[in-house]
Amino acid sequence: MTRHILVAVDGSEHADRAVEFTADLAGCVGAPVTVLHVVPTTSPAPTIVGTYAELEQIWLNARDALEEAGRELVARVAERLRRAGVEDVRTRVELGPPARTIVDVAREVGADVIVMGRRGLGDLKGLLLGSVSHKVAQIAEATVVTVR
C-alpha cells in the first residue's frame, strides 16, 4: 500500500499531468503528498563578458528568483491538490542536482512513490545527458511513476 507520495514539479506540461495523476492516486489510497521543486545548482565559470565575482552575483540573483518562482509553483500545486481532495499536502523547494535531490527528499520524507513528468526525447540535452526522470528511476529506492 502506498504510504507517501512525492510529486516533483517544474512547471512543465508533463509535470502538470503528473500532478493530475498524483491527485487521483492520493485520492484512492489516502496518502499524504509532498510537492517538490528543485532549483538546479551550477557554478558559473569566468568568461570574456565578466569576472567571476560579477558572474557569481548574477547567479545568486537568478537563483533567488528561481527559488521564489519555485515557492510560488509548489504553493499553486498544493492548492490544486487540496481542491482535488488531498488532505495532507506538504511543499518543499530545494537546491541541488535535480535527480539526486528528488531521490534524497523522497527518502527523507518516507515517500514510497515518486511521481514526475516525462519529457520527450526530442530534446538534444536529454539525448546527450539523459533525462531527470530516467536518472531518478535508476537510483531511487521508491517506485517511480513517469507521466506522459
What is the number of structural domains in the chain? 1
**pLDDT of 129-142, one tens digit each?**
568 999 999 999 99
Which among 146, 66, 137, 145 has a CA at the least distance from the CA of 103? Answer: 137
Instruction: Tell me which residue range forms the domain holding 114.
Output: 5-147
Cα separations in angstroms, 143 against 65, 115, 125: 32, 9, 25
Residue 56's CATH number: 3.40.50.620
**pLDDT of 46-81, one tens digit each?**
555 567 778 778 888 899 999 999 999 999 999 999
